[in-house]
Amino acid sequence: MIHVEKPTEEKLEKLGVDSWPIWKKETSVFAWEYDEKETCYLLEGEVEVTPVNGKTVKFGKGDLVIFSEGLKCTWNVIKPIKKQYKFG
């Protein structure tokens, strides 16, 4: 499952997003599998993620995204991304 929302500043503060590590990725396409839940906040970029046997989900700058544990998908990075993330 992939959940996307536009978070409030209050929610970002409550989650402690500013303290999360940063990950960057250039324009690319790659397969990915989540060993555990990931929550991320996109600072830059645009992405399409397609779960195996699922519908493509698009998200980008300003979106808070939650990927469920066990999700198998393909990432299509349309515009280079920079995100803060947290596992678990």
CA 28 to chain centroid: 15
Could you list the residue range(s) of the whole structural domain that residue 68 is in?
Answer: 2-87
Q: What distance in Å separates the CA atoms of residue 45 and residue 33, rounded to the nearest whole number?
A: 21
Tens place of pLDDT per residue across the chain (88 aa):
999 999 999 999 999 999 999 999 999 999 999 999 999 999 999 999 999 999 999 999 999 999 999 999 999 999 999 999 999 9
Instruction: Report the CATH number that the domain containing residue 42 is assigned in CATH.
Output: 2.60.120.10
- Strand 72-87 and strand 22-25: the pairing is antiparallel
Is residue 59 a contact partner of residue 4, using CB atoms and an 8 Å limit?
yes
Domains contained in the chain, number: 1
13 φ, ψ to 5°?
-65, -45
